[in-house]
Chains A and B, each alone.
Chain A
Amino acid sequence: MKCILNTGRTVPQGTSVEHKGSDNYRSVTSAGFLNPVDMMMLGIEDGDRVRLTTPAGYIVLTARPAEGVARAEIFVAIGPYANHIISSETHGTGMPDFKSQSVEIEPTEEPVKSVGELMEAIGGLRYDRT
């Protein structure tokens, strides 16, 4: 299913933003909110996982229903999960398409990665001693 990826702030994202290695941050920024009708079309339930693919790569998220999200749109709290698949093109403005990235969504059984795993996928090394 083709959708537009929309990102934004949420209170749970804000309260865990200085705890990026926490399970809480991982859970709130890796949740993809979809219109319940779109979830039905995809044949998925609350808590099932979806794979979002763009030319920049793919990411696995946990699907959550949200009546307020329009059809053919997926809302994800700002953070490393959404950014893993957003193009770095800024169209000469400095600003990437954080709210208008086209994505292909499909159900998946793959697990949701941790923030540390996402950073290690791009050459980082997680620090988890705090």
Chain B
Amino acid sequence: MIEHDVVCPFCGCLCDDLELVCEGGKIVKVQNGCALAESTFMNDVRLPSPIRRTESGWEDISYTEAIKETAEILQGADRPLLYGWSSTHGEAQSIGVHIAELIGAVIDNTSTVCHGPSILAIQEVGHPGCTLGQVKNRADVIIYWGCNPIEAHPRHMSRYTTYATGFFVPDAQRERTVIVVDTRRTDTAGIADEFVQIEHSGDYAVLSALRAIVRGKASVIPAKVAGVSKEQLIRIAEICKTAKFGAIFFGLGLTMSRGKYKNIRNAIELTDELNRHTKFVISPLRGHGNVYGSNEVFTWMTGYPFAVDFARGIAFYNPGETTAVDILRRGECDAALIVASDPGANFPRAAAAHLAKIPTVVIDPHVNATTALSRIHIPCTAAGIDAAGTAYRMDGVPIRLKKVIDRGYPDDAEILKKIYDRLNGGKEL
């Protein structure tokens, strides 16, 4: 049987044109997908049943037991942390927010170590963005800044930019100019029309220089800015000013390097300057399949996109204080629920180490590094493979993930709802 128009849940592109060949309840072939999609669907090894860490090792336990013990851990905690959420659907994320509100927890999602700084910048100066469809059909200048889509979003260029035929850009490869800005000469840089190699942490300075040039103040720019020649900066500014429609995509090269959210603010303000000459947009390349959805769900339920603290009985948001890494490194939380993510692998050691000191419960389809740090790991469905649900693409477009096969696992939303009901004295959500 061939399943058409399947959505890949791996990265923020949420490519929705995959064809999966299924035989005997298994996915045997993936068509149209990238290497990441193929691995996601074909190499999906799960934890068979819930496990609990004991003094002598790991033991299998029932779902009922695992859910009961998880509820007891969360009920008994003074400062619980609920973290992750970006690789599951909105339905599970929303129950997570309900649990956080009920027990006065901190709830944070993976954007905290991804595009959290981008959100801080957008809160300061706004987001002149658009959908990927607009970029595909209109953009004749594409800038990839501090990102490497060939590795992280392998089909971004073929579906929306460099190689994508658009309504107003019928001969994409000839009509689109691609500029790549990075500290590394990546594979993406290798196919750029202009590669701007900047010195480490030089992004803020280069963005400021471009803003000055676009504003007509090229005379104040020195011969080199963070390793980039003034001639190249003037050339880039001219390409941007004469574009019919320009689109900047940026990655963690801006959010994680020195300056963090101030880099993004500067990039947005460059976009603002360019809009005095032509149409220009800017958007982050979001990593996890539904990380944008976690920001959406958190925002419409609490008013804040990540790092929401319910300890006061109301939603409180203060990145740097209520963000997961900060709470863990201060040793502040006394229990953790980790859903659809792996802070054991992706947080600095000092933060991850705290998870092993407190009762940590993982709800995730796969064994990961955090499993080793947890007390209980409850396996569940994987959104987009054996569970349907809503996810948000990196440009904010909601897309329905399909249930392609049934593997007999409970949905994480169902597990979370049972935990909520127990925490709520048996009263259903």
Contact = CB atoms under 8 A, between A and B. Distances in A.
Interface of A: 4, 6-11, 14-16, 18-21, 56-57, 66-70, 72-73, 75, 78-80, 83-100, 115-116, 118-120, 122-127, 129-130
Interface residues of B, number: 78
A130 B45 contact: yes
Contact of B51 (A79, A91, A126, A127): A127
A124 B151 contact: no
Interface stretch (B95-103, B131-139, B255-263): B255-263
Q: Which of B197, B320, B365 has the largest number of chain A CB atoms within 10 A?
A: B320
16 contacts: A6-B183, A6-B200, A8-B148, A11-B35, A15-B36, A18-B365, A68-B189, A70-B197, A87-B350, A88-B347, A89-B329, A95-B325, A100-B201, A122-B373, A127-B47, A127-B367
Contacts of A70: 183-184, 197, 199-200
Given A16-B39, A68-B189, 17 more contacts: A9-B287, A14-B39, A18-B40, A20-B345, A69-B184, A79-B346, A84-B349, A88-B350, A92-B320, A94-B117, A94-B306, A95-B113, A96-B113, A96-B351, A116-B372, A126-B372, A130-B45
Given A20-B367, A90-B326, A57 B200 contact: no
A93 B184 contact: no
Given A21-B367, A129-B58, A130-B45, A94 B151 contact: no
A93 B151 CA distance: 26
Interface stretch (B156-164, B217-225, B352-360, B387-395): B352-360
B93 interface: no
Given A6-B200, A123-B353, A88 B325 contact: yes
Contacts of B151: 8-11, 14
Contact of B184 (A75, A80, A122): A75
B88 interface: no
Contacts of A8: 148, 151-152, 252-253
B348 A56 contact: yes
Given A20-B368, A99-B252, A130 B348 contact: no
A78 B346 contact: yes
B57 A125 contact: yes
Given A88-B348, A93-B116, A127-B371, A14 B256 contact: no
A89 B351 CA distance: 10
A87 to B, nearest CB: 6
A115 B397 CA distance: 36
Contact of A9 (B152, B189, B353): B152
Nearest to B367: A130
Interface string B89-124: 000000000000000000000001100110010000
Nearest to A84: B349
8 smallest CB-CB distances across A and B, nearest first, come from A94-B323, A68-B185, A123-B356, A124-B372, A92-B320, A119-B372, A122-B353, A88-B329
B200 A56 contact: no
Contacts of A118: 369
A83 B258 contact: no
A77 to B, nearest CB: 9
B116 A11 contact: no
Contact of A98 (B185, B256, B345, B350): B256
A86 B347 CA distance: 9
